[in-house]
Structure 1
Amino acid sequence: MPQNASVSTRMWAPALAELERGLLQRDVAARALLLAALAGEHVLLLGPPGTAKSELARRLQRLLPGAHYFERLLTRFTVPEELFGPLSLRALEDDRYERLTEGYLPSAEVAFLDEVFKANSAILNTLLGLLHERQFDNGSQRLPAPLVCLVGASNEQPQDESLLAFYDRFLLRVPVQPVDDAHFAALLQTSVASPGAPPPQALIDHQRLDALRERAPQMALDETVLGLLVQARQHATQTGQSVSDRRWRQLVELLKLQAASRNVSEVADWDLWLLPFVLAADPEHVPGWTEFFMHRVAQTAPLPLDGLERAVTAFEQQLDIERRAPADAQDDSAGKVALAKSIAGPTAGESEMVRLTSERAQRRYSPVHIEARVAQTDELLARLADLHGELGSIAQTVLEPARAHDWLPPSWLAQIEAVHLGRCASVAALLAQLQTTRTGFAGLPVDEALTGLPAPVTWESP
């Protein structure tokens, strides 16, 4: 890993660790939330209640020194006063329609709105301006809002077309599900106590944040990343997902900020792990976008190994046939072996008589037969060895930058490692299996007087 990458890891890793501390399977949501806050964007967490959505928002607020926090559960009966503050009675006496916003959403740096799509149109229209322009109309004044990141939560995406504009204001839309069965036992043994004040090194320093945002536009997009974004647009078209020009531009800005946070000079293909959470039209499309990234960047597309497995099995089966073949089809070889065992007695074990009788009962093969079998086996062994080396090289090429990337979720890295290391292990197992078969062919009983050449071993191609 380059030295500058380790510096960036030290810079943001404590904040990320504080977001994730004690939370299971929230590495994707925590990374998306922290990147959104660094970029000044908003996040929508889609999932059932009880999945730590509000806890993530509260922890984010604690990472911003002096940041004000606002939280509300919205319903269709929620009134604007609950979010934007009550009307000022003193202002009304002077014929001014103004709100007392202190302690309410217009004065918050971090906010969490649960069931965000259940609010009425009056609230949503005001939220649109607040999220996009960071401004709040208070009476005749348009005041700047200090909002850094609004975290919205919902059980599902909105179905009403009138809500789509508001839905689009969330640049990152991250599905959050209950922990799976593999982590259930750990969930039961994990403390539910909320962490206290974060350590100083975990805090998001405003000076560093400003420097990061100034540097982000300088990040370059190389040809590889541009090519992948072109493919991403084609994928969106083919799957019927509409992505606006504004969202594409916002995506690029977020990718540049992520690259800047890693202290590098250009956006890398691994930065595109964010694609599913920016481009997916709804949660159902997230797996497709995740597969897009995994196949094109992480190179995890399935490889056709079935044909090689059938080939190795075919050689193994052929060896078994040739080992079992009797010396002469007219001889009662099995009867001779049984008679020898009977004479030796039940406790004699593998006596010399039994061994000699078994060997004589086994068919012998010509030297050219054995050479042909070994040669064909060697040919397949060479193919497998080449494939094993190629897969090892690919694994190294993929896993080295993946492990060095500061933001790639560990759960994703584990999946990528499992695919590449699993491929190498599978081919290594086939190599060992075929090497044993080759040894078996080389050890077949030989008769120098014979000259028969065998038909090649065949198998069904995939």
Structure 2
Amino acid sequence: MKRKERIKKLLIHLTEGIFDKDEILALGLLAAVSGESIFLLGPPGVAKSLLARKLKYAFCEGKSFEYLMSRFSTPDEIFGPISIRKLKEEDKYERITAKYLPDANVVFLDEIWKASSAIQNALLTILNERIYRNGEQELQVNIRCIISASNELPQLGEGLEALWDRFLIRTQVSEIRNPNSFLQMITSNKDAYADTVPAELKLSEIELQEWSASIDSIDVPEVVLNVIQILKHKIEEYNQHQSSQILVYDRRWKKIIRLLRTSAFLNERKQVDLMDCFLMIHCLWNTPEQISAIFQMLSEIIREHGYHLTLNLGALSRELQEFEQEVRNETLIAHQVVVEEMQSVDTEFLEVLNIRNYFEGNLIKKADFVKLNVEEWKSISLFDVSHNLVNKIQAKLALQKHTLEILHNSQVIPLKIKTVEREKTEYIKKKPHSLVEKFWNEKAQELKNYIHNQQKRLQEDAPDELNHLKTNLFVPAHLAEIVEANMKESSKILQNLALQLEKIVHLYE
């Protein structure tokens, strides 16, 4: 069975008996495979502990440990009691860790911010190094994922910043909002805590270790690195204008890359893509209010820049502009001429000279004059200097420039529109020297080939890219529209640049 198909089936079995929490459980599995931890923010009774219990069934011989923290929780309750025998017989201060946190694969710690400093310090070592210091021993723990939960964020000034930073994925958990899912949940008689995962789908420790090496070899293409670099810059700009800052340090960025690589690997790809980038939304916020801002920043970057930067569309556009300017400077000689133009009155009107000899008012609308032709009479409005409508007249366009004809007492009277003389730049075209033309032809051919190769590259990559955009195991399918929009826009820009190049060549041929 292929890896992606296996993970897909595994997630289907894990979500049995859980409603409207598919994405969160998928993020939990992603965190576990990548060796990271996840924080769930939500009120009591929304299946946070159930998610942790279900996740342990993803692993062969999976063991879980869960505990509800309080201010009075002791290290004995989390890491195991002190071994009296060891203390008496060997004078060693060691804990019995079997069936406690160090012995588990999946750990769920509810209300984690209430943990004492002694528990926090031990947790930091486990989260950082997967090591638990038990007396004189350093135990290598086999914890795949620590899931923490709370209905509040850590309070500032209580020394919880280091622990908070260790949870790479942060996501909100709410009550069931889909009406059908809610009715299914309250009427279901299935045991939601039962292990329904077939043995052949479960992940073994040997398998996970082999996958770890493969994950590290997943390529992170330039398009993804460009998005991350711009996002980092946008966050820095955001922080300059907001009191609630998005604080992201180097270690978190490095862990994010590992998470994106894991997503690509489990989706059976050789490189990270733009859909994987949406996972960063769950990794960057410090308060829920920042989630929408991060989503907006990331979406705009992918929509506006995505493949544009990889295809060097900005640099290509600038090169064409410089080429066009060079051709214009060499082949077009500018000279100034005086032209007669109709003079606008308050932008919207034109003044008809001598019309007051026949009617009140002397202004007509530009829009009416443009509609006139030399063949048929049309009724147009006549206005006074205050722009009040004073009359309706029959008029048509005269053969003379800037002139109309009006009908008055069965007579055709030509009247000129008031004009003004303006200087205008006109260009005389000259033939370039044969050597210059040869150089331009070579340059144009190089640019044409480059544009063609970029179009070919986009067309060849696009089908495969589009095929798997909506089947990402960890990112909602509707976000594919943002990536697709960028790919289509990149293709359109390349077409326009090719057309611009043709126009430049036409200037000197």
Category of TM-score, reference length = shorter chain: 0.5 to 0.7
1:15–1:204 Cα contact (<8 Å) kept: no
- Taking CA–CA contacts closer than 8 Å with sequence separation of 6 or more, which of the two structures ends up with the larger relative contact order? 1
Cα-Cα RMSD:
3.0
Q: Distance in 2 between matches of 1:396 and 1:48?
A: 43
- 249, 257, 277: which one aligns with 1:252: 257
1:103 aligns with 2:99: yes
1:154 and 2:150 equivalent?
Answer: yes
Aligned partner of 1:403: which letter?
Answer: K
Partner of 1:66: 61
Change (3 A) 1:52 1:418: farther
Alignment map for 1:360-375 (pairs within 5 Å): none
Is 1:17 paired with 2:8? Answer: no
Tell me which protein shows more helix as a share of its residues.
1
Deviation at 1:128, TM superposition (A): 0.8
Residue 232 of structure 1, CA deviation: 1.4
Aligned residue number for residue 203 of structure 1? 202
Cα distance change of structure 1 residues 198 and 228 upon mapping to structure 2, 3 Å threshold? same
Q: Aligned AA for 1:231?
A: I
TM-score, structure 2 normalization: 0.58
- Relative to structure 1, the CA distance from residue 420 to residue 259 in structure 2 (aligned partners, 3 Å threshold; closer, same or farther) is closer
Structure 1 runs not aligned, ≥5 long? 1-5, 300-328, 330-392, 422-462
Q: Distance in 2 between matches of 1:202 and 1:419?
A: 31
Secondary structure, aligned partner of 2:56:
helix
Matched residue, 1:227: 226
Tell me the TM-score normalized by structure 1.
0.64
2:470 is aligned, of 403, 410, 423, to: 403
Q: How does 1:343-354 map to 2 (within 5 A)?
A: none
One-letter amino acid matched to 1:278: C
- For 2:283, the equivalent position in structure 1 comes to 278
Distance 2:32 2:211 in 1: 12
For 1:108 and 1:25, the matched residues in 2 are separated by 27
**Cα gap change, 1:26 to 1:235, in 2 (>3 Å):** farther
Report the AA paired with residue 209 of structure 2: D
Q: 1:72-121 CA deviation, whole Å, 9 max, x = no partner?
A: 00000111110011111112214221111111111111111000111111
**1:107-156, CA deviations, whole angstroms, 9 ceiling, x for partnerless residues?**
11111100011111111111111111111111122221111111101112
**Following the alignment from structure 2 to structure 1, what is the Cα–Cα distance between the partners of residues 484 and 225?**
25
Q: Which amino acid aligns with 2:100?
A: Y
Superposed, 1:57-456 pairs within 5 Å as 57-94=52-89, 95-161=91-157, 162-180=159-177, 183-190=178-185, 191=188, 193-194=191-192, 195-240=194-239, 241-297=246-302, 400-408=467-475, 412-414=476-478
Structure 2 residues not aligned, in runs of 5+: 240-245, 305-378, 380-458, 486-509
| Aligned position for 1:325 | none
Cα deviation code 1:173-194 (max 9, x no counterpart): 11111122xx134312232631
Q: In the alignment, is the contact (CA less than 8 A) between 1:57 and 1:111 conserved in 2?
A: yes
Deviation at residue 35 of structure 1 after TM alignment:
0.5
Q: Percent identity?
A: 33
Mark the CA change 1:73 to 1:13 in structure 2 (over 3 Å): closer, same or farther: same
Counterpart amino acid of 2:474? W
Instruction: Report if aligned partners of 1:298, 1:416 keep a CA contact under 8 Å in 2.
Output: no
Higher strand proportion (structure 1 or 2): 2
The amino acid of 1:103's aligned partner reads K
Q: Quickly say closer, same or farther: Cα 1:249–1:105, change in 2 above 3 A.
A: same
Q: State the number of aligned residues.
A: 323
Shift of 1:405: 2.6
Correspondence for 1:26: 21
Q: 1:123 to 1:207 in 2, by over 3 A?
A: closer
CA contact (8 A) 1:76 1:118 kept: yes
CA distance in 1, matches of 2:29, 2:119: 26
Query: What is the alpha-carbon distance in structure 1 between the residues aligned to residue 16 and residue 40 of structure 2?
Result: 18
Q: Secondary structure at the match of 1:220?
A: coil
Once residues 72 and 189 of structure 1 are traced to their aligned partners in structure 2, the CA distance between those partners, rounded to angstroms, is 28
Show the counterpart of 1:42. Answer: 37
Amino acid at match of 1:276: I
Q: Is the 2:14–2:196 Cα contact (8 Å) retained in structure 1?
A: no
Q: For 1:201 and 1:14, locate their aligned partners in 2 and report how far apart those are by CA, in whole Å.
A: 11
Cα distance in 2 between the residues matched to 1:234 and 1:40: 28
Contact preservation (8 Å) 1:399, 1:417: no
What do residues 188-244 of structure 1 show as CA deviations (whole Å, max 9, x unaligned)? Answer: 223263143312343123343222211111122212111100121022212321211
